[in-house]
Amino acid sequence: MINQNDQELQNEEGFREIEITVFKYNPQNKESKPEYQTYKLVETPGMTLYIALIKIWSTMDHHLSFDFVCRAGICGSCSMVVNGKPRLACKTRTSEFENGKITLLPLPTFKHIKDLSVDTGNWMNAMSVKVESWIHAKEETDISVVEKPIEPDVAQAVFDLDRCIECGICLAACSTKIMHDDFVGAVGLNRTARFAIDPHDERSDEEFYELIGDDNGVFGCMSLMGCEDHCPKDLPLQTKIAYMRRKMVKV
């Protein structure tokens, strides 16, 4: 726990005070009304929004809800809208905001659970089923046999797309997702590209077309680049969407 004396001590050491305004609402509670609440706290060196929210939770508001697991940009659970842009809270430093004022909202397009907490997991699971996000081989896999080797550059390309952490930021930054609720988004299209370039997957372009050859798939994307601009893993999303679209147009 950080008490008032600690805060005063830190202020004496020259740290600035910052203001974090958080959207608070519990849709499960009929009496809850959407509102903003502002918390003032002393910024410490290297402070991330993860650290700031933990400080708020432990010293000021034990009812505040938000999601974190890894605090290292790996689990994808801490996505939220930070001063209007979807970002990972654990990888966002408070020092980036010169005036010290930060507003946090839950990620749009996902089911709102409470305050900054949303349910990305069920959506990601449904998307994985929809795009059949697993290797399709004609023959049954014999796990006693060593997997067929693939070219290093192909393996690297597959690995690159596998770096997706399912944070949902590409969907929160996507206008198509707002218009088409069933749009699989850059995360889903990236997933199909990952399997389309993997030689272990023997699906034909026609089979991929059945999964993503419509407005909820590759033809829904308007190439506004919001996904790629905000993806915290810098995945080449637009290039891979274009790759899948070229394949689907030929079907």
For residue 91, state whether it binds ligand SF4 (rule: CB under 6 A): no
> Binders of ligand SF4 among 57-86, rule CB under 6 A?
none
Q: Which alpha helices (H) appear in the chain, and where do they start and end? A: 4-12, 49-59, 121-130, 152-161, 169-172, 175-179, 185-196, 205-212, 226-230, 237-250
Contact 90, 73 (CB under 8 A): yes
Helix (H, G, I), strand (E, B) or coil at 74: coil
Among 53, 131, 235, 248, binds ligand SF4 (CB under 6 A): 235
Phi and psi of 87, rounded to 5°?
Answer: -150, 165
Applying CB under 6 A, the span of 72-80, 108-116, 190-198, 221-229 interacting with ligand FES comes to 72-80
Give CA torsion, residues 156, 126, 233, 69, to 10 deg: -120
Shortest Cβ 88–ligand FES spacing (Å): 5
Residue ranges in 119-178 that form contacts with ligand SF4 under rule CB under 6 A? 164-170
Q: Under DSSP, is residue 178 helix (H, G, I), strand (E, B) or coil?
A: helix
Q: Which does 190 bind (CB under 5 to 8 A by kind): ligand SF4, ligand FES, none?
A: ligand SF4
Using CB under 6 A, which of the segments 57-65, 105-113, 231-239, 240-248 binds ligand SF4?
Answer: 231-239
Give, as ranges, the residues between 78 and 117 that touch ligand FES (CB under 6 A): 78, 88, 90
Measured distance CA(86)–CA(232) in Å, rounded = 10
Residue 187 binding ligand SF4, by CB under 6 A: yes
Nearest approach, Cβ of residue 49 and ligand FES (Å): 9
* 36 or 159: CB nearest ligand SF4: 159
Distance CA 83, CA 21 (A): 10
Q: Interface with ligand SF4 includes 193 (CB under 6 A)? A: no
Contact 94, 184 (CB under 8 A): no
Residues that bind ligand FES (CB under 6 A): 68-71, 73-78, 88, 90
Residues that bind ligand SF4 (CB under 6 A): 164-170, 186-187, 190, 231-233, 235, 237
